[in-house]
């Protein structure tokens, strides 16, 4: 018999896979960490597995 933690983890992975498919995210370097339900919208917390390179035009000075 699977533990409750295993079942919850499986359910979360299914939700994350659904979200990445829905948004068309195909980059394996993007990891969804959490989904927050704010009532009128959902907020997706994600991270990139590597540091993002600076913009070749402004070198990161515009923001």
Tokens of 38: 């704010």
Helix (H) or strand (E) holding 17: helix 4-23
For each of the chain's 63 residues, which pLDDT tens digit applies? 556 566 656 666 677 777 777 777 787 888 888 888 888 888 888 888 888 888 888 877 765
- What's the pLDDT at 12? 66
- What's the pLDDT at 14? 77
3-class DSSP state of 27 = coil
- What's the pLDDT at 57? 83
């Amino acid at each position: 018999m699977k533990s409750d933690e295993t079942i919850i983890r499986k359910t979360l992975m299914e939700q994350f896979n659904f979200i990445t498919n829905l948004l068309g995210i195909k980059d394996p370097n993007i990891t969804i960490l959490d989904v927050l339900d704010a009532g009128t919208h959902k907020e997706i917390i994600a991270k990139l597995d590597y540091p993002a390179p600076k913009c070749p035009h402004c070198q990161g000075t515009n923001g």
